[in-house]
Each structure stands twice: as structure tokens, then as C-alpha cells.
Amino acid sequence: MNIVIVGLNHRTASLDIRERLSISEEKMGDALYKLTSDDMIEEGLILSTCNRVEVCAVVKETHRGFNAIKNFLATQDTGLSLEAIAPSLYIHSSSKAIEHLYRVASSLDSMIVGEPQILGQLKDAFDHAILHKTTGIILNKAFKKAISVAKRVRTETKIAESAVSISFAAVELAKKIFGNLNKKSVLLIGAGQMAELAARHFVGNGVQSITITNRSYERAVDLASSFNGSPVKFEDFPSQMVKSDIVLCSSGAPHYLINAEMIKEVIALRKNRPIFFIDISVPRNIDPEINILDNVFLYDIDDLQHSVETNIESRKKEALKAEEIITEEIVTFAHWFKSLDAVPMIVALKDRAEAIRQTELEKISGKLGDLTESQKKALDGLTASIVNKLLHSPLTVLKKEVNSTNGNMILETTRKLFELEELLSQTQEEKKKG
Amino acid sequence: MHNVLFFKATLLFYFLGTALFLLNLWDNRKDQGHTKQISWPQKFALFSTGAGFICHTIALGIRLKEGDYVPLANLHEALSFFSWAIVLAFFWVEIKYQLYILGSFILPLAFLSLISVTALPSESPSLNPTLMNAWFGLHTILSILGIVAFTIAFLAGIIYLIQDRFLKSKQLNTLYAKLPSLDMLDRWNKQAILMGFPLLTLGIISGALWSQYTLGTLWGKNNSKQALSLGIWIFYLLVLHGRINIGWRAKKAARLAIIGFIGVIFIFFTLA
């Protein structure tokens, strides 16, 4: 039994693959059922955002489990073969999987490190899995822990501050260009979450109108209604720039959407009114060349991040701190996870019983006075036999059921009933020392 | 000779003001440039400038009372009046927009024009007193006020280019934080030229009328000063036309204000 993750993200997969593999909320239930219907998979959970698809599962056997998940991904209705997706996939197991999960939850793996949305998306994914009963004791524990680790990272480091301050920095820059933002208008190209966050900041700072465009017009309409803005067709965005003072771009397109030729025309039509471009996309959607043009100001995500904190050293320090927290938390999870293994559990249970027997024997031998050698033997035999008889059926059930679907539940229950927590971690430490 | 005493006091105060205002540019404390709260060195700079301005006003008043003509007959007096008027303009802008940072640019200019006065002959007006009349006074005052307005436009242009450079090169240092927004600088530029242009127009008209009354001709054929003034007048007319009708704003407007000012310096030194 092992905990595994198979996934792809903005670094490993193109937008096209990410989009095709992403699983919408409506289809999540079916996907979860399909995933867990495989005999190899005991528990399953799917996290699908615009930047990543992660399948987290508890599998009976690591290697075959990986294949089961890969097959699940390939048989989704994506039009992509396993060969087409395989190069974009990464796989993690055991503590590496937990580490990956914690890093994702803490936003250390995000396109914009520290962005706050991922935790909410992770919670939603967890809720879906709970609703469809596809998680069990292990994933429940892992995800609850991941959420608390993310919260710890957020409160104990300044990682999250920098992402929030990126939007803040964009607004401050806009104020240095336009002064008052009241009569300015914002154009949002693409529906990336960071751009959405920045757009909300602009609205909060009094921007008058907001226009939204997206490749999927429905999504633009959706977003526009939540902003009280107006949607425009994706083909029309170049002409819309003439009317927009601030252009926020995060479309996820793999190439430049905006180039210098285009902007020269826009600036002429704007009669030299300055225009501020914020490119939050990775890879970039705006040709950096346009920054050379008069009255055009272009900031990409790195520029904004630098403007927030020019001290790279302290930013690195915060990331290190976060990694430390994660390492620490992995250790505690690993302890718990190992306790679910049947062998140490059986050993611990036997040890515990033996320890009790020994103490009770010592106590009674004082009261009984001098005993003959054969009497001592009989007493010893009697107590040992009681203990063994008592433990016989729990141990047999443990050995037999550990690989069944209820196995983890039984292990966990045993651990709790006999208060084996302490004993199990002791034996592990002894093993390490040994 | 009380005016000399006040004049020296003015110099001293402006020197102090300049030093404090320049110091403020290098002050590393976070200051967004638009905060209403000002630190004590900033208050001291304002106080010093105010004291200098009062002394200067008194010195000019004494001079006006002592001589029986408008004290604007030579370059010395023109520079002195220019310095007075630009500090007045600073106080106006500071009260209206709380743009303290402008002082760091205006005060050095006021101080420099005033100190250069000391290098020039203070007595003996270069014009025959018989040529002095109300038209002459009007002409010089209007012209210098026009020049002050164009100087403000020039400074707005310079600061615009500096701020533009900061924003483009993404060097967001403390000076960047102190300088006003590009939009505000562009609006200053526009406002200043909108004010300077009618002043220059009236200055040229009153100059021509003065010429008519004293020399008998409205427009001297070989008068290079008049030709230059007309050239500059046409330049600013084009700038305003371009701004309103073609969209010569922002960076282009900043550059134009700087180019115009170079011409203005020329008329200034042909004033005497």
C-alpha cells in the first residue's frame, strides 16, 4: 500500500494538454468513480485547476498504481493518447508524494508563488472526493494535514504577502502613471486567477470600467457579471485596447498575443494617452519590445515581484522557511503512515501485551512469597497463554484484513484501541538508530 | 541701502531652502510624495523659503520706492524679479496640490538666478530713463510672468522624463516614490503653457505698443528680440494646437516644453 500522485502542471504541460485534461466540476463525480473503480486504487482524489491536474491516490502496489492512474488519464475523453500525455506527467510516491501535496497546497509549486487561490481549489477538490466517498482514512488525513500545513506556511512565512502585494504593486504603478484611477478603464485578457485578483484590486481602487475578453466567450460573460463589467469577443480585443488604459493579460497562450506593431497603431489611435500593460502570463503573452514605445509601460510578473521586494535574499529566505515547515510536517505524517503498516503494528501490540504481563508478574510475585521453580514456570505459562489467546484473533484478523479495503481502517482502529502511537514511533526511532 | 541688506538675507534663506530641498531628494525614508504629513526638515525648508520670499519682496519694494521707475530695466533686475515670481509660483502650486517635491527643482533655480544677479552690475539701468513708462513696466512684468509659466512647464517636462525613465527601466527607488504621477506632470505642463501663452501674447503686444510710443514704430524691422519672441510665440501656439487637436501629450509634450524653454532662455538674455 502506498500513497501516490500522478500529475502535470504549468511547467510540465502545455496549455493545450492542461485544458484537455482538466476536469470540470460537473464531471468530477464521474471521474472520481471511474478512478476508484480500478482494483488497484483504494482511495482517490482529483485536483483540477487551469494550471494543474493532479491525481492523488492510495494504491495497493506503487508501480501498478501509477499505471492505473495513467490509464485513467489516457481514457478520459481528451482525444490524447497515453503517449501524448506521458512526457508531461510527473509521478511521486510515499513521502515524495506527501511533499508534493504540501508544496502544492502551500502555493510553493504555483506559477505565482504564494498565490492564495490554490488552497481554496484544493479544499474544493477534497470536498468533492468526500462527497463522492472516494477518499478514506489516508487521503483524509493527508489532505487535512496539507490544508493545515498551508495555513502554517501562510502565517509563519511572508510567502503569501508577496502574491497579494503583486496586485498592490500593479495598482501603485498605475497610480504613478495615471494619478487618479477613477476615470480609467481596465481590459482583462484571459481569465487567469492572478489577473482576476489584480483586476479586483483595480476595481477596489476606483477604476471606472472593466472589460473582459477570453477565448471562451462564456467564461468572459461569467467573469464580467461578477465584476459588473462588460465582455467582448476575443477577436475584438485589439480595438478594445484603444479605449483601455490598463491592460491585464493572463491568457495562458503559448505565444505573444500583443506585439509592437499592434501597439504602435493603438497608441496613435489613443492620441498618445499612456497605456499600462501588465503581463501575468507564463509564458509571456506580450512582446517585451513594446516597452520601448513612448507612453507604453509594460510590467511582467517578474518586474512586479521585483518591485515588491527588491531584496531577493529575503524572499529566498521565506521560501526556505516554508520548505523547512514542509519537511517537518512530512516527518510527522510519515510516522503516522508507517503506523498503518501491519508488521510493526503486530510487533507493537505484542510488545505492549508482554510489557503488561511482565509488570503484573513482578507485582504478584512479591505477594506470593517464595515460589518453587515449577510454580514460577506454571505462572509464567498461564499468563502467557492468557495474553496469547486474547491477542490471537486480533492478530489473525490484522494479518488477514490488512490488504482488504477496510485494512487501513482496521489498522487505525487497532492503533487507537491499544494506544500504540507512542510505542510505534519509539520502535521507528530505534530502527533509525540501529 | 536697506534693499541690499534684505537682498542678502534673501540669498541666505534661499541657499538654506535649496540645501534642505535637495537634501529631501536624497532622504531615503519611505515617502509616497502625496502624503500630507511633512517632516521637520521639510517644514524648515518651507519656512526658510517663505522667509526668503518676504525679504525679497521687501527688497524689491524698497527698490521700487527708491527709483522712480519699474525696477526691471536690466538683466539684473529681470533675474531678480524672475526669481521672486517663480518662488511665488511654487507657493501657489504647493498650496494647491501639496506638491512639495517641486521645491527641490524650483528653489535651486530661484537661488541660481538670484546669485547670478550678484555677478551682474546692480546699478545703472541700461535703458534711458526717458524710455521708461507704464507700457514698458507692463511689457516686462507680463513677459517675465510668461517666462515663469514656461519654466514651470519646462520643470514639469524634465520631471516627466525622469519619472518616465524610472517607470520604463523599472527602477522604483525612493526618488521615484517622491515624484508625482505622469498624469499630474502632464497636466502641469498643459496648465503652465495655457497660462504662459496669453502672458507672452500680452507681453509682445505691450512691447510693440511701447515701441510705438517711444520709438515710433510698432515693429522694428531689424529687431532680433522681437523676431525671436514672435518665433517662440508661434512655437507655443503650435504646441497648444498640437496638444488640443492632434494629441501631442505625455512624453512628446514634455519634450516640447523643454525645447520651448531653450528658446525662452534666449529671449530672457536679450531682455536687457
The answer on B71 and B29 residing in a single domain is yes
CB B45 within 8 Å of CB B20:
yes
Report H helices in B128-223. 134-169, 174-178, 182-214
Query: Does A363 reach chain B within 8 Å, measured CB to CB?
Result: no
Distance from CA of B41 to the nearest CA of A (A): 25
**What pLDDT, in 10s, does the model give residues B225-270?**
788 888 999 999 999 999 988 889 899 999 999 999 998 888 777 7
> What pLDDT does residue B272 have?
47
Domain that holds residue B23: 1-121
The answer on B194 and B249 residing in a single domain is yes
Closest CA to B117 of B79, B148, B62, B71: B79
- Are A273 and B247 inside 8 Å of each other by CB? yes
**What pLDDT, in 10s, does the model give residues B1-59?**
567 788 888 989 999 999 988 888 877 654 444 445 667 778 889 999 999 999 999 98
> Which among A173, A177, A271 has the least Cβ separation from residue B183?
A177
**What pLDDT, in 10s, does the model give residues A376-418?**
889 899 999 999 999 998 888 888 877 676 777 788 888 888 8
> Which among B168, B183, B247 has the least Cβ separation from residue A178?
B183
The answer on B203 and B105 residing in a single domain is no
Indicate the number of domains in chain B: 2
The answer on B176 and B87 residing in a single domain is no
**What is the band of A162 on the pLDDT scale with cuts at 50, 70, 90?**
low
Is A163-308 assigned to CATH 3.40.50.720? yes
- B179 part of a folded domain: yes
The answer on B109 and B227 residing in a single domain is no
**What is the band of A10 on the pLDDT scale with cuts at 50, 70, 90?**
confident
The answer on B141 and B114 residing in a single domain is no
- B126 part of a folded domain: no
The answer on B271 and B136 residing in a single domain is yes
What share of chain A in percent tops pLDDT 90? Answer: 42
Q: Beta strands of A159-240 (E only): which ranges? A: 185-189, 209-213, 230-232
B246 contact residues in A (CB cutoff 8 A): 271
Domain layout of chain A by residue ranges:
2-156+317-336, 163-308, 342-433
- Are A307 and B172 inside 8 Å of each other by CB? yes
CATH code for the domain of B268: 1.20.120
The answer on B262 and B160 residing in a single domain is yes
Q: What is the reported pTM?
A: 0.69
**What is the band of A105 on the pLDDT scale with cuts at 50, 70, 90?**
very high
Cβ-Cβ contacts under 8 Å between A and B: the total is 51
Which CA distances in Å does A330 have to A103, A119, A248, A327? Answer: 11, 18, 38, 5
Q: Tell me the pairing of strands A2-9 and A52-59.
A: antiparallel
The answer on B170 and B60 residing in a single domain is no
Selected catalytic residue, list A8, A50, A58, A174: A50
Distance from CA of B201 to the nearest CA of A (A): 28
Region of B216 please: left (phi>0), alpha (psi -120 to 50) or beta: left
Place of cell 517711444: B214
What DSSP designation does B212 have?
H
- Please name the residue of chain A whose CA is at the shortest distance from the CA of residue B167: A297
Query: Does A427 reach chain B within 8 Å, measured CB to CB?
Result: no
Range scoring the smallest mean pLDDT among B118-122, B138-142, B181-185: B118-122
* pLDDT reading at A47 higher than 90: yes
The answer on B183 and B109 residing in a single domain is no
Region of B55 please: left (phi>0), alpha (psi -120 to 50) or beta: alpha
**What pLDDT, in 10s, does the model give residues A192-251?**
677 777 888 888 888 989 999 988 888 888 888 888 889 999 998 889 999 999 999 987
> What pLDDT does residue A431 have?
53
> What pLDDT does residue A63 have?
92
Q: Beta strands of A130-245 (E only): which ranges? A: 185-189, 209-213, 230-232
- B127 part of a folded domain: no
Cβ-proximal residues to B154 (8 Å cutoff; 6+ apart), any chain = B257, B258, B260, B261, B264
The answer on B241 and B142 residing in a single domain is yes
Q: Tell me the pairing of strands A296-300 and A275-279.
A: parallel
The CATH label, of 2.30.42.10, 3.30.460.30, 3.30.1180.20, 3.30.360.10, for the domain at A2-156+317-336 is 3.30.460.30
The answer on B173 and B102 residing in a single domain is no
Strands across the sheet containing A2-9: A41-48, A52-59, A2-9, A90-93
* pLDDT reading at A314 higher than 80: no
